[in-house]
Amino acid sequence: MNHVFCAMLLIGMLAAVMGGDLSGAQTALFSGGGEAVSFCLSMAGAYAFFGGLLGVLRESGVTDALARGMRKPLARLFCFERGEEAALDDICVNLAADLLGMGGAATPAGLRAMRTMAAAGGDTGRLSDAMGLFLVLNMCSVQMLPTTMIAIRAQHGSKSPADIVLPTLLATLASGLTGIALCKFFASRSKMHD
Amino acid sequence: MIDSSYLMPCLVVFALLCGLRARIDVYDAFVRGAKEGLLTLLEMTPYLCAALTATALLRQTGVMDALTNLLSPLLAHLSIPDAAAGVVLLRPLSGSAALAAVRDVIAQTGADSRAARFSCVISGASETIFFTGSLYMGAAGIRKAGYTIAAAMIAYMAGILAAAICV
């Protein structure tokens, strides 16, 4: 992100100098932060509402129930090496929290799962098939409820802010399934080379 | 087509029923969750300041337009709306920069335009690939990402194509 940020500012300043619009660039630099703060304030109500709603779901045990339900299919999907199956519980919690859009609860469980699997392989720094699949699933983000996106549309006067839920589900499904298929493909290819 | 305006009421009723069935203090749980949500937002604000400053600069100086024009033929081929180019490019790199770009698209084209809906779908259906990758690999002490970054990027593109078709 460091490189991206520096590159964006550098390119912007260069373009400002070449285009001769220095005062416009200056206004943009000062207004950007202010826009961010007022944007966050306008989103605060929705964040509190969705946070509260997800809090009720979590404390009612919905996340745990979902994690339990995913346990069997996930145990089949992941080809664990010896000792790696100890991470299965954390994997289930991570993916269930991800599905419900609770990023805050997903990350600690996900990192724990990665550490457990690494330790099972003797901490050699090698990426096992199960670790690769878990990593790719997290990089694809399987999400059922895009709360931030619903909120931002509602805030900006959309007539039906939630009508992106179904397309988002389809898109996340497409990327998730592609990710799984690619992992299985690469894993079987590396086995043939052994 | 299902009417999506029923979704929120259904979700609220569902959460209430779950809470009552589990015999938890729904009010307390809601307040705790709301606090968590607000803290997340507060933590995100400085990042969003940085991201919006950078995107405002690029938009003002015409870099964003130049980039969009450059990509426009390719985007048209995939039936991706031009205005969403920034979102598509920034999403794998930075969550806050992508959110800033989504906000820009909505501000320019309205919340119900195809570009705005497409941007929201892309943002909701994907993740900051490079950040997540380095975070998880760092936790496990893995130095070589192997095929995972490539697989995640191809999966991201599959998501984009799916979104272009169904939005």
- Residue B37 lies inside a defined structural domain of this protein: no
Query: What range defines the domain where residue B124 resides?
Result: 45-166
For residues A11 and A110, give the distance between their C-alpha atoms in angstroms, rounded to a whole number. Answer: 36
- Given an 8 Å threshold on Cβ–Cβ distance, is A164 in contact with B120? yes
Q: Report the C-alpha gap between B164 and A101 in whole angstroms.
A: 23
DSSP category for residue A100: T
Residue type, B164: A
How far is residue A146 from each of residues A103, A168, A169, B121, B123, measured CA to CA in Å? 11, 8, 9, 8, 9
How far, in Å, CA of B15 to CA of B28, rounded? 13
Does any domain span residue B36?
no
Q: How many domains does chain B have?
A: 1
The reply to whether B140 falls in a domain is yes
In a domain, B67, yes or no: yes
Q: Which residues of A touch B125 (CB under 8 A)?
A: 141, 143, 146, 168-169, 171-172, 175
Contacts with A186 from chain B: Cβ below 8 Å? 146-147, 151
Residue B142: is its pLDDT beyond 70?
yes
Record: contact A183-B147, CB cut-off 8 A: yes
Q: Does A144 touch chain B (CB under 8 A)?
A: no
Nearest to A134 by CA among B140, B96, B94, B88: B140
ipTM above 0.90, yes or no: no
Q: What is the mean pLDDT of chain B?
A: 90
Q: What is the pLDDT of residues A24-44, one digit of tens each?
A: 888 888 888 888 899 899 889
Flag if A135 and B148 touch (Cβ within 8 Å).
Answer: yes
Query: At what angle are helices B95-109 and B26-60 packed, to 10 degrees?
Result: 80
pLDDT digits (tens, 9 = 90+) for A111-131: 999 999 999 988 898 899 999
Answer yes or no: is pLDDT of A9 > 80.
Answer: yes
Residue in A107, A139, A165 nearest the CB of B7: A165
